[in-house]
Amino acid sequence: MGFAAVKLQPAMAQASRPLAGRRIVVTRAREQAGDLVQALTALGADVVAAPTIRIEPLADLAPLRAALADLARYQWIVFTSQNTVRVVCDRLPEWGLEPRALTRVAVAAIGPATAAALAERGVAAALVPERFVAEAVVEEMVRRGDVRGKRILVPRALEARDALPEGLRARGAVVDVIPVYATVRDPGDGSRLARDIVAGQIDAITFTSSSTVRHFVDLVGREAATSGRFAAAAIGPVTAATARELGIPVPIEADEYAVPGLVDALVRHFGEAGRGRGRGRGDV
């Protein structure tokens, strides 16, 4: 199946391990979960890796290849996630291109992790909004000048929200949206995790995208997902809204829409839950 507890070292000072004894589930795709797993483990958490999604590049990337071959007609290319960076940049050598070819236009990235993924490939993002959501890209582009008539390329997930292209088009931009990957359910068996949830053996479950929420419900079933027996921790407002729409209460929401912000929110939540009362998995 797809989940396993990460073993911890013997006890350390509680002050440096504020999540000690807390069993926290990471639902992120297996290849992306490392930074969150490591951060939580370092703070004392008993981490359960239960990937609910898998990233699958689309079989037909001809539209992307055609757009990149004629990149000079665009003023901007917007990368909405690390996944988009990987899929696009991994294909460039096959097409006789290098990542630095992307620097022929201005590059925008949603979030520092996306910007870092670009930087690792030699591409500097000219725009990284302070809020790591699509709407903030629109606001920042408009703040920098009129986008009317500007051509903007947006490679993205097949099932991504339309807030970014619609927001730009509403302000007169010409936006080409090209799906490059799909987010699908991880094939793992969620029955054990579902039993642990219902038995009150899970303190928190982290969600880093709307797709992790939707496929979590598919993985463990609606009864366990909406049982209220764990604290749902969302990386940002879009993810939190999806969870609530599906009947999952969200008591933990990151102020900074990135992994460090999610970790900080978990520490705050369990620090408050642990003060002045006994510790138990009902304290979520």
**Span 254-264, pLDDT tens digits:** 998 889 999 99
Nearest to 252 by CA among 260, 242, 263: 263
Does residue 204 contact residue 232 with C-beta atoms inside 8 Å? Answer: yes
Q: Are 47 and 26 in contact (CB under 8 A)?
A: yes
Per-residue pLDDT tens over the stretch 8-60: 444 444 567 999 999 999 999 998 899 999 999 999 999 999 999 999 999 99
Task: Report how far apart, in Å, the C-alpha atoms of 190 and of each of 37, 177, 218, 220, 222 are.
Answer: 19, 34, 9, 5, 12
Measure the CA dihedral 36/85/257/44, to 10°: 10
pTM of the model: 0.82
CA 246 to CA 250: how far, in whole Å? 11
What distance in Å separates the CA atoms of residue 173 and residue 259, rounded to the nearest whole number? 31
Q: How confident is the model at residue 130 (pLDDT cuts 50, 70, 90)?
A: confident
From the CA atom positions of the chain, what is the Rg in Å? 20
Query: How far apart, in Å, are the Cα atoms of 61 and each of 66, 67, 138?
Result: 9, 10, 26
Q: In this predicted model, what pLDDT tens digit does every residue of 174-219 receive, in sequence order?
A: 999 999 999 999 999 999 999 999 999 999 999 999 999 999 999 9
* C-alpha pair distances (Å), 109 with each of 133, 136, 217, 225, 245: 10, 11, 29, 32, 28
Rounded-to-integer distance, Cα 209 and Cα 252, Å:
14
> How do residues 156-170 score in pLDDT, each as one tens digit?
999 888 999 999 999
Q: Which domains does the chain have, with CATH numbers?
A: 4-52+186-274 (3.40.50.10090), 56-182 (3.40.50.10090)
pLDDT at position 8, please? 42
pLDDT value for 12 = 43
Q: How confident is the model at residue 274 (pLDDT cuts 50, 70, 90)?
A: low
